[in-house]
Every structure is written in C-alpha cells, then in structure tokens.
Amino acid sequence: MEPRQFQDIRHALSLTSPTIWDLPVLHRGVTALKIYTEIIRCSVLPKVKDIFGFSSLSFGYKDTPDSRLHRRLVVYTLPLNLERLNSHIRELDRLLPPIPDEMPSIRTNFLVRAAV
C-alpha cells in the first residue's frame, strides 16, 4: 500500500461536514480503506496466530499473563473487527453519491448567492 493511500484515508476521516466538493476525497478514502482491509485479510489474518504465538508453529514467547491476554485479544478479535470494518466500508460506499461529471464551481456558487 502506498503512503498516498494512507493520506487519503486520513483526509477522508478528518472531514467533519463534507460537501459536494469533498466527494472525490471520500471516494479515494473508501477505495484506500478497501485496499487496506484486503491486504490485512490476505496477508495478516492467515498468519496472526503464528505472529502472536498461538499456534504450534510459534515458540519462544516469554510473557506475563497480561501480555498473553493482550496477544490473545488481538488474535481473536482482529477477524471480527476486520469484518465489521468491511461492512461499514460497504455501507459507506453504498451511501456515497457518485461524483458528478461536472462539479459546480465554488466561485460560481458564491457569485450566484451574492447576486440574490
């Protein structure tokens, strides 16, 4: 994933009152989130138990009961949280209106309102 895509996600998530001019930003953010979750699903989820020491292939963890609990929480909640994030992304994608072919100009809108 490219750094630009992380910037797209951050920019889309920082919008508090999106307008029609923010639609391209929102669409890029949703697309980047889809890519990010797909990467996590394909590359991290299959190995998450090995990474955090909860499979027969992993060994060598010297930890406290607290750190074992934290690792276990990640291992067992990551798949569910990723699926919930995917469902929210699908819902957002469904609700997002398409980008108009011709975006209204901010200057035109301002001049029209000023003339009235």
Structure confidence at residue 58 (pLDDT)? 57
Structure confidence at residue 72 (pLDDT)? 81
Q: Which residues contact 52 (CB under 8 A, 6 or more apart)?
A: 58, 71, 72, 74, 75
Query: Which element (helix H / strand E) includes 12?
Result: helix 3-14
Structure confidence at residue 21 (pLDDT)? 86
Structure confidence at residue 1 (pLDDT)? 80
Give 10-residue mean pLDDT values along the chain (116 residues): 90 90 92 95 87 66 73 87 96 90 63 46
Distance CA 64, CA 62 (A): 7
Residue 3 dihedral angles phi and psi, to the nearest 5° = -55, -35
Do 25 and 9 touch, CB atoms closer than 8 A?
A: no
Structure confidence at residue 114 (pLDDT)? 46
Q: What is the DSSP letter of 70?
A: H
Distance CA 77, CA 71 (A): 10
